A and B are shown apart, each in its own frame.
Chain A
Amino acid sequence: MNGSKSLGLMLLTPAIVFVLLFFVAPVILTAVFALTNMSTATGITGGAYQVTQSSLRKLAESYGQAELANTLAETRYTVNEEGLEAIAADGADARLVAEMRAKLGGRSFEKRRDLESAIKTLNSRPRNTRALKALSDTFHRSIVNERFESADAMLRATTNLGVALSADQKSALADATYTGWVWTTQNFTRMIALPDTQRTLINTFIYVFATLAIFNTGFALVLSIATHYMPARPAGIFRAIWLLPRISPPVLYVLLWKWLAWDTGFLSNFLANFGVAPRNWLLDNPTNAWIFIVLINGFVGASMGMLIFSSAIKAIPGSLFHASEVDGASRWQQIRYIILPQLRWPILFITCYQSLSLLTSFEYILLATEGGPGGATEVWALKTYLTALNNYAGNLEYGYGAALALVLVVVGVVLSLAYLKVFDFKTMVRPPRIEQ
C-alpha cells in the first residue's frame, strides 16, 4: 500500500467508525432483535423455566397437551422419600415413617382428604387430627409458580410429583414454560396478519404526503416566492417569523398548540361566541387530529424549504426578472416560466430529504396526540416507539418493535438509494445550473 492510500484511509477512519457505530451496528442489532420475541417479560438475557397459568394455557393450546396441563395445574399430595425424610426430621414416629414408606411410598393423591384417609388406615397413625394435618401438609407437592434454572430441574421436579412424562411431553413442557426469549419469525407473520399494520401504513402515508405536499414544499414555495416579491426588510422579518417554530423547543411548541385546541383553550373560547360547544379540537375526532398534526409538523417543516428556495431564487440573476418583465411577463408568468423551472432541483431535493425525515419523525405526534384518538394518528415510527420503548400496558415488545423498525430502515435505505440515483453524482459535479 502506498503512502497516500494509507493516509486517505487514516483520514477516513473517523467517518468509518462513525458509520459503523451509529448506523451499521444499530441496524444489525435491530435485525437481530427483529428475529426474537424479546419483551419485558422475557428479558434480554437468558430465561428460566416456570409453570405459570399462562404457560399451562400455552401448553394446552399451542402444544395440544391439555391433559398434562390439567395434571400439572392440580395441587397434589405425593408420598415420596423427600417428604418422608422431612417428617422424620420433624420428629415423627419411626414406625409411622417406616409404615408409610412401605405402604404409601410413591403414591399420589389428588386431594388432601384422600391422603388423610389413607394415613388413617395405617396402624401407627397419629392420634390427633392436628398432627394428621401437619403430616399431610408435608407431602403437599406442586410446581406451579416455582422457578427452575434449567429444564432438567423442572422435569425432575415433575417426576417427583409423580407425573410421568413421555419424550414429546418433556420437550413441549420445556418449551412452554421457558420464560426467556427465543428465535422466531413470528414478528413478521404477525405484522402482516394484524389489521393494525395496514392502518398504520395508511396513517404514515397520509402524514408524510400531506405534510410534505401542503407545507414542506408547497407552503415553503409560497413563502419563498411571496418574500421574493416583498421589499427586503419586511421579507426578512417575515422569514424570521416562519423560522420561529423551528427554533422553539418542541415540547413548548406543542403545548401552545394544545392550549389553542383544548376544550378550555383559545379555539373553544373563541367559537363559544358563535354558539359552538367547547370541545377538545385536537382529539375530538380523527379528521381534526390529522389537521392539527399536519399543521403542527408543517409549520416547523416549511422553514427549511423556505430557506432553500429563497436562496435559490436569490441566485437567479436579476436580469432574468428584468428581461421577463420587458418581455411582457406578469408576476404569475414570471413565477411559472422563470422561478419554478429554476427551482426544479431545490424542490426535488427538499421533497426527497423531507420525505425521509418525516418518515422517521414522530416526536410532534407523540407530544400532541400520542397517536390518538384511538390510534387514528399513529404512524409507523410512533407505533415502533410505543411497541418497543414506551407504552401503558408496560410490556415492551422489543422483538416486535425491532421488526417494525426494520421495515422503516429498509424503506429508508431503498428511498435513499433511489434519491441518490435521481441526484446522480455526475449532476452534482456539473457546472451550476444557473448560468451567467
Chain B
Amino acid sequence: MRILLKNFGKSFGAVNVIENLNLEIHDGEMLALLGPSGCGKSTTLFAVCGIHKVTAGQILFGDRDVTHVPSQQRNVGVVFQNYALYPHLSIAENIGFPLKIRKESAAEIKRKVHEMADLVQIGALLDRRPAELSGGQQQRVALARALIRRPDVLLLDEPLANLDAKLRLEMRSEIRRIQQETGITAILVTHDQVEAMSMCDRIAIMKQGQIVQIAAPMEMYDNPVSDFVAGFLGNPPIAFVDGALTGSVFESSGIRIELPSAAQRNGGPVKLGIRPENFQPEFPQKVSGEVTFVESQGRETLYDVRLDDGQILRSIQGHAVRAGVGERVSWGISPDNILIFDEKGARL
C-alpha cells in the first residue's frame, strides 16, 4: 500500500513541529525516517497511524484519504519505541489482542497467534507475561502484535534502540526478512544511520521538521545534497575542511588540493567533505599533518590527523597500525570522491 503525505503539517499549540512535508512511500517499500533527536520523526509516524491529528495537509493510503480516519480504522501495525505491551496480558493475549478486538473466534485467534509466534520465533514464550521477557523477546512480541492482522502499513519507532549490539544486528535482518516475506509497506524511524542503511530500500533524512533528502542508501552516501546529510551517513563520520576554491584548486592555510574539473568556483569559501576511506597513504593528493588520535577497532584502525592549520582529517585503514600518536604523516586524498559544499552547506 502506497503512503503519501501531502503538505503535511503538525503543531502542538504554538509549537510548529512539522510544516509542509511531502513524502511518498512506495508499495512494499521499507523507508527509513532518519534524523537527529527532536526533528519530528515520531510525530510524523504518529500522524501516519492516526494517534496525532494532523494540523495541515493530507495523508493517503493508496488512493484513500485517511487524514480524518481514526487510527482504529487505518489498519496500521505499530511497534512502539518502548514496545507498549499490555503488562496484564500474557504474550499470547498480547499478540492476539487486535484479533480479539475484532471479535474473531478463539480458535482462529489461537491459530494465528501460533503462526505469528513462529514467524518471530517466540513460540515457547506464549504463556509468559511481558515483564518476564528480555528486551529482544519483547520486541519480537511487539512485532508479532503489529503484524498479526495483516496491516496495510507497518510503522516501527526506533524498535532496536533498547537492544544490545548483538541482538540489534540479529533483529535488523529479522525485521527486514519479515517485511520482505510479507511484502508490507513499512516506515522505520531511527536515528541510527547504520540501521537505516542496512535495513531500508530508501532513506528519508529529516531535519527540524523538514525532509532534506530521499534516496537509496548508497546513492545518498555517495551523493548527499548537503553537508548535513553527508555528516549523518557514514561511520566513522566524514571530515570537513574549510577553505577557498579558485578554479579547480582548493586552498586553505594547511593544504592545497587539485580537484577534478567538475566543480569550479572563483575565490569563494567552500567546505570539502572527505570520508575516512578516501584519505589513505597510497592516494595521490598528499597532505601532511600530525596524528593526534589512534583507535584500533580490530579489523580496522581509525586515525585523526591534524593539519597544520588545526583542521582534522580522519582516515580508516586496514588492520596494521602504521603510525602512532604524535607522528607526522603525509597521506593522500582521492580527488574523485571529494564532496564539495558551499558555505551554507549545499552541495556544489
Q: Does A328 contact B (CB under 8 A)?
A: yes
Q: Is B88 part of the binding interface, using a Cβ–Cβ cutoff of 8 Å?
A: yes
- Chain A neighbourhood of B51, CB < 8 A: 322, 325-326
Say whether B331 faces chain A, with CB atoms less than 8 Å apart: no
Give the docked Cα–Cα distance between A436 and B88 (Å). 12
Binds A, one of B96-104, B114-122, B176-184, B240-248: B96-104
B72 at the binding interface (Cβ < 8 Å): yes
List CB contacts (< 8 Å) of B176-221 with chain A.
Answer: none
Q: Is B36 part of the binding interface, using a Cβ–Cβ cutoff of 8 Å?
A: no
B52-90 near A? 1/0 per residue, CB < 8 Å = 000000000000000000111110111010111111110
Cβ–Cβ contact B87 & A327, under 8 A? no
Chain B residues in 8 Å Cβ range of A433:
87-88
Q: Which residues of B contact A338 (CB under 8 A)?
A: 86
Task: Flag A323-366 by CB within 8 Å of B: 1 or 0 each.
Answer: 11111111001000110011000000000000000000000000
A232 located at the interface, meaning its Cβ lies under 8 Å from any Cβ of chain B in the complex:
no
- Contact A326 to B87, CB < 8 A, known contacts A317-B82, A319-B80: no
Q: Is the CB of B102 within 8 A of A320?
A: no
Which one of A327, A329, A330, A434 contacts B145 once the chains associate, using CB atoms below 8 Å? A327
Known: A325-B51, A435-B130. A341 touches B84 (CB 8 A): no
Among candidates A323, A330, A333, residue contacting B84 with C-beta atoms closer than 8 Å:
A323
Residue of B nearest to A436 (CB): B82
Contact with A along B235-256 (1 / 0, CB 8 A): 0000000000000000000000
Name the interface size band of chain A: 20 to 34
Chain A residues numbered 225-249 whose CB sits less than 8 Å from any CB in chain B:
none
The distance in angstroms between the C-alpha atoms of A331 and B191, with both chains bound, is: 33
Give the chain A neighbours of B72 by CB distance below 8 A: 325-326, 328-330
> In the complex, A326 Cα to B50 Cα: how many Å?
8
Q: For B82, B83, B86, which residue has the most chain A Cβ atoms within 10 angstroms?
A: B86
Known contacts A325-B50, A326-B49, A326-B50: does B84 contact A436 (CB below 8 Å)? yes
- Taking CB atoms and an 8 Å cut-off, the chain A residues in 408-436 that contact chain B are 433-436
B103's closest neighbor in chain A, by CB?
A333
Task: Select from chain A the residue with minimum beta-carbon distance to B98.
Answer: A327
B321 at the interface (CB under 8 A from A): no
Nearest CB in chain B to that of A342: its residue = B88
User: Of all chain B residues, which has the CB nearest A318?
Assistant: B84
A323 to B78, CA, bound (A): 7
Please give the distance in Å from A286's CB to the nearest CB on chain B: 43
Smallest CB gap from B93: residue in A: A337
A327: chain B residues at CB < 8 Å are 97-98, 101, 145
Beyond A320-B86, A323-B80, whether A328 also contacts B130 by CB under 8 A is: no
- Rounded to whole angstroms, the CA-CA distance of A328 and B82 in the bound complex is 19
A-B contact count (CB 8 A): 71
Q: Complex: how many Å from CA A326 to CA B74?
A: 8
In the bound complex, how far is the Cα of B73 from the Cα of A327, in angstroms?
A: 9
Contacts of A322 in B (CB 8 A): 46, 51, 78, 80, 84
Give the CA-CA distance A324 to B145 in the complex, in Å: 11
Task: Using C-beta atoms within 8 Å of the partner chain, give the interface range for chain B.
Answer: 20 to 34
Task: Give the residues in chain A near B83, CB-CB below 8 Å.
Answer: 436
A433 to B83, CA, bound (A): 17
A325→B82 contact, CB < 8 A: no
B80: nearest residue on chain A (CB-CB)?
A: A319
Residue from the list B76, B85, B88 in contact with A326, Cβ < 8 A: B76
Q: A319-B82, A326-B78 are in contact. Are A333 and B87 (CB under 8 A)?
A: no
| Contact across chains for B87 and A434 when beta carbons are under 8 A apart | yes
Given A319-B82, A338-B86, A436-B83, also A329-B50 (CB < 8 A): no
Residues of A within 8 A of B80 (CB): 319, 322-323
CB of A324 within 8 A of CB of B82, answer no
A:91-126 near B, CB below 8 Å = none
Residues of A342-400 at the interface with B, using a CB-CB cut-off of 8 Å, are 342
Cβ contacts under 8 Å, B102 to chain A: 328
Query: Is B325's CB within 8 Å of the partner chain A?
Result: no
User: What chain B residues lie within 8 Å of A330 (beta carbons)?
Assistant: 72, 101
For the complex, give the distance between the alpha carbons of A317 and B81 in Å.
Answer: 13
B8 to chain A, nearest CB (A): 18
Give complex CA distance A114, B82 in Å. Answer: 111
Query: Smallest distance from the beta carbon of A160 to chain B beta carbons, Å?
Result: 86
The CA of A326 and the CA of B49, in the complex, are separated in Å by: 7
Who on chain A is nearest to B46 by CB? Answer: A322
A325 to B46, CA, bound (A): 11
Please give, as numbers and ranges, the residues of chain A lying within 8 Å of B49 by CB-CB distance.
326
Give every chain A residue within 8 A of B82 (Cβ-Cβ).
Answer: 317, 319, 436
Residues of A276-320 contacting chain B, CB below 8 A: 317, 319-320
Q: In whole Å, how far is B153's beta carbon from the nearest beta carbon of chain A?
A: 10
Whole-angstrom distance between the alpha carbons of A337 and B98 in the complex? 11
CA distance A325 to B155 in the complex (A): 14
Q: Which residue of B lies closest to A319 (CB)?
A: B84
CB distance from A312 to the nearest CB of B (A): 13
Q: A326-B49, A327-B145 are in contact. List 10 more A-B contacts (CB 8 A).
A: A317-B82, A323-B84, A326-B76, A326-B77, A329-B72, A329-B97, A337-B86, A337-B97, A434-B87, A436-B87
List B residues at the A interface (Cβ < 8 Å): 46, 49-51, 70-74, 76-78, 80, 82-89, 97-98, 100-102, 130-131, 145, 149
Which 3 interchain pairs have the tightest Cβ spacing?
Answer: A319-B84, A323-B84, A327-B98
Q: Could you list 20 A-B pairs, sorted by A, with CB under 8 Å?
A: A317-B82, A317-B84, A322-B84, A323-B86, A324-B86, A324-B101, A326-B50, A326-B51, A326-B71, A326-B72, A326-B74, A327-B145, A328-B72, A328-B73, A328-B98, A328-B102, A330-B72, A330-B101, A337-B86, A436-B84
